[in-house]
């Protein structure tokens, strides 16, 4: 059991998972799943889920007792009594249920246990990442057809989900996206008309473009072939996932749902270094007025650097609380595979955008999408003092990638995110508070 606990803790970090996969820890663990001890099998199942989470199939049928146990663990944890020593327990268990649900036999048992109700209460009342992860597990359950009495769990859930979408102001873009997918799969019709977009430029993209032209002035450095809108409507219309793997060896990163990307002209050496194919994807949240100095330099700046205009960069206020600072070398460049982390206001500090087009006001944030060369950076914990897991895909212990090396990061795009603060007037072009019906 002790060895399993160690393996479990190791498996919560993405880098270790690959090592486990390579060393076929997965195959050898599978035979242990039949062990009589339910608690052992349950923790092993969670560990194996961590290791295998990039797989699209669940390779094993889980014993009913184990699923029951996981269900009870989640139930107790939601009620406030935790069985395992883990502050990310709800995320781990919901992720495991979601992974098991890829296989029909497991999904049927999960439905039979009534786990939909539990997932729903987490979606309604959980912490940010718990909500994402519970909704994702629910989505995995909707992949299969069930008996009528099991399907009824979905029907009962639909109302609550619609309410979350309509009434809850704290719903993140990821959560909204997942819930809408669940509703679509369970045949509840959510504004199915506005899943259109595709080729034509969306309203959000036009607004972000106006912001970019007016405030970022990145003009000739752009490569508009790589522009892409990740607003919910555009993202949905492409049926893309929320996380992908890129590079050699492959590494996971979050898709910037809710943002709009303006592609950048890559330097000559990008092709020579095979960066687009072999490097990892990451993000770097920054201030609006740092975008141009960074682009002029051609590299992300680190504290202490002097910009082309002669200004010296200091520490960002709010970043690095005093107690975090001990022993941490800040003379490095930091990026993150989690767009949620890059979007933290300590990094992507917001500014106000007054859109002249319709006199609306928006909160504006910017971030860089970068390529970073594998094996040139260290993974480290978050440094903004997070109390709970921020991104269901990444442990808080691995949110910051840092490097002292030069030339291992390429700027691939500028991301812009706008959130409405004050509605504007509707005008003849159809821009404005009301969605134009096409
Ligand atoms: Zn869009």
Extents of the domains making up the chain: 2-190, 203-422
Higher pLDDT, 174 or 372: 372
Cα gap 154→147, rounded to integer Å: 12
Q: Which residues make Cβ contacts (< 8 Å) with residue 389, sequence separation at least 6?
A: 87, 88, 91, 127, 129, 130, 395, 396
Mean pLDDT score across all residues of the chain: 84
The closest alpha carbon to 263, from 372, 340, 371, 362, belongs to 371
Residue 435 has pLDDT above 50, yes or no: no
Ligand 1 center–CA 7 separation, angstroms = 42
- Please report, for residues 5, 52, 113, 129, the alpha-carbon distance to residue 120 in angstroms, rounded to integers and kept in the order given: 29, 25, 14, 14
Q: Is the dihedral of CA 323, 326, 331, 336 positive or negative?
A: negative
Kindly give the residue spans of alpha helices, DSSP state H, lying in 212-307. Answer: 232-237, 269-272, 275-278, 291-297
For residue 165, what pLDDT is reported?
87
Ligand 1 center–CA 224 separation, angstroms = 15
Ligand 1 center–CA 322 separation, angstroms = 40
Residue 366 has pLDDT above 90, yes or no: yes
Ligand 1 center–CA 367 separation, angstroms = 17
Sheet holding 378-380, edge to edge: 333-335, 400-403, 378-380
- For residue 3, what pLDDT band results from cuts at 50, 70 and 90? confident
Top CATH class of 203-422 equals alpha beta
User: CA torsion, points 93, 96, 98, 103, in degrees to nearest 10?
Assistant: -140
For residue 198, what pLDDT is reported?
37
Quick check: do 2-190 and 203-422 share a fold? Answer: no
Q: Which residues pair with 286 in a beta bridge?
A: 366
For residue 390, what pLDDT is reported?
94
Which two structure tokens, joined as six digits, stand for 182?
A: 């669940």
Ligand 1 center–CA 301 separation, angstroms = 30
Ligand 1 center–CA 59 separation, angstroms = 37
229-271: per-residue pLDDT in tens? 999 888 888 888 899 999 999 999 999 999 999 999 999 899 8
Phi, psi of 3 (to 5 degrees): -60, -40
2-190 folds as 1.25.10
Ligand 1 center–CA 422 separation, angstroms = 20
Cα gap 100→58, rounded to integer Å: 6
What average pLDDT score do residues 428-436 get? 45
Ligand 1 center–CA 200 separation, angstroms = 9
Ligand 1 center–CA 237 separation, angstroms = 9
Ligand 1 center–CA 283 separation, angstroms = 20
């Amino acid at each position: 059991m002790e060895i399993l606990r160690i393996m479990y803790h190791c498996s919560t970090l993405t880098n270790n998972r690959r090592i486990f996969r390579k060393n076929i820890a997965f195959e050898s663990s599978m035979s242990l799943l039949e062990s009589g001890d339910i608690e052992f099998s349950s923790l092993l199942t969670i560990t194996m889920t961590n290791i295998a989470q990039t797989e699209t199939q669940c390779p094993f049928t889980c014993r009913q007792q184990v699923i029951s146990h996981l269900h009870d663990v989640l139930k107790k944890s939601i009620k406030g009594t935790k069985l395992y020593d883990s502050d990310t327990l709800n995320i781990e268990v919901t992720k495991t249920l979601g992974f098991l649900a890829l296989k029909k036999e497991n999904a049927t048992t999960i439905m039979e246990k009534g786990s939909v109700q539990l997932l729903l209460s987490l979606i309604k009342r959980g912490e940010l990442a718990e909500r994402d992860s519970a909704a994702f597990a629910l989505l995995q359950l909707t992949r299969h057809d069930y008996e009528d009495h099991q399907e009824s769990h979905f029907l009962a859930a639909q109302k609550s989900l619609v309410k979350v979408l309509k009434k809850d102001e704290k719903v993140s873009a990821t959560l909204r996206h997942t819930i809408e997918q669940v509703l679509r799969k369970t045949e509840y019709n959510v504004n199915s008309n506005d899943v259109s977009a595709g080729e034509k430029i969306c309203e959000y993209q036009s607004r972000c473009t106006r912001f970019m032209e007016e405030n970022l002035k990145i003009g000739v450095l752009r490569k508009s072939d790589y522009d892409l809108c990740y607003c919910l409507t555009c993202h949905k219309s492409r049926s893309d996932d929320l996380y992908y793997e890129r590079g050699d060896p492959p590494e996971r990163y979050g898709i910037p749902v809710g943002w709009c990307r303006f592609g950048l002209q890559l330097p000559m050496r990008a092709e020579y270094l095979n960066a687009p194919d072999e490097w990892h994807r990451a993000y770097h949240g920054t201030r609006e007025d740092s975008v141009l100095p960074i682009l002029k330099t051609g590299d992300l700046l680190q504290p202490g650097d002097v910009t082309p205009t002669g200004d010296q960069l200091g520490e960002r206020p709010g970043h690095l609380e005093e107690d975090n600072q001990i022993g941490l070398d800040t003379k490095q460049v930091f990026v993150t595979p989690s767009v949620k982390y890059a979007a933290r206001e300590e990094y992507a500090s917001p500014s106000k955008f007054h859109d002249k087009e319709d006199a609306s006001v928006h909160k504006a944030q910017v971030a860089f999408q970068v390529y970073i060369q594998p094996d040139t950076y260290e993974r480290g914990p978050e440094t903004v003092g997070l109390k709970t897991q921020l991104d269901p895909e990444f442990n808080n212990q691995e949110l910051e990638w840092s490097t002292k090396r030069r030339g291992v990061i390429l700027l691939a795009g500028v991301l812009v995110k706008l959130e409405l603060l004050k509605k504007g007037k509707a005008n003849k072009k159809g821009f404005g508070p009301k969605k134009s019906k096409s």
